[in-house]
A = this chain, B = another copy of it.
C-alpha cells in the first residue's frame, strides 16, 4: 500500500456538468492518496447535487467551488492541463500521461501543483490551456478519444501513484525569492503587460485574444521565480509611469 502523506497537489474540475462525476473524481483522489479537489464554476444545481462517493466523504466535504479558474490556480506554482488530444488546433506539445517525469518535472514537484480537467462536453478551452505549464495527453484511441471525466481523473491519479510522483506539501509556506512564482503573481505581471501593450498599439483588435494567449504561455515558459516577477513588475510599472497610464 502507498504512503498517504498530505500532498501539495490539487485536482481542479473546470465547469463540470454532471454531479456524479464530481463524486467519482473525489473517490479516485481518495483511492490514490490525493486530498484536494476544487471545482470551477459548476452550475449551481450540479454543485448542490454532488453526493459523497464511498470513502471520499472527507474530500467532498473539503472540496471548494470557485467562480473562475484563476481562483483555483492562483496559489499554484505548476499547472498541468489534461486533454484527449483530439482538438486539432493545438500548437503545443502534448506529453503522454505515462511520462510524468516530463509533465511534472522534479523541480515542479516541490511546489504547489494543480491538475486541470475540462468539462465533459468540451474539455479545456484554449484560453484555459494557456494557464498550463504542461499539457498531458491520455493515450486514448482515435476511434474513441474522449474519456468519461471520473475515469479520466482515476487514470491520472493512478499514473501519479504508480510513479510515486505525487508531490509532497512543501515543508514551509514561507516565500523565498528563488522559489517559483505562483500563478497569481504571474497574472499580475501579465495584466500589466497587457495594459502596456494595449496602450502602445501592439495588440490589434482582431488578434488580441490569440496574442494574449501566446503572451501568457511565454511568461509561463520562463518559469519565473518570485524575484523575477518582482523585477519584471518593476520594469513594467516604470513603463506605465512613463506612458502616463
Contact = CB atoms under 8 A, between A and B. Distances in A.
Query: Which size bracket describes the interface of A in this complex?
Result: 35 or more
Nearest to A147: B31
Interface in A30-55: 30-33, 53-55
A26 B155 CA distance: 15
Most-contacted residue by chain B among A32, A152, A158 (CB, 10 A): A158
A30 to B, nearest CB: 4
A30 B150 contact: no
A211 interface: no
B154 A147 contact: yes
A144 B144 CA distance: 30
Contacts of A20: 20
A159 B55 CA distance: 24
Contacts of A54: 144, 146, 148
A227 interface: no
A152 B24 CA distance: 11
A24 B151 contact: yes
A146 B55 contact: yes
Interface stretch (A134-142, A171-179, A188-196): A134-142
A145 B98 contact: no
A143 interface: yes
A125 interface: no
A245 interface: no
A144 B31 contact: yes
A14 B108 CA distance: 42
Contacts of A98: 162
A145 to B, nearest CB: 7
A144 B55 contact: yes
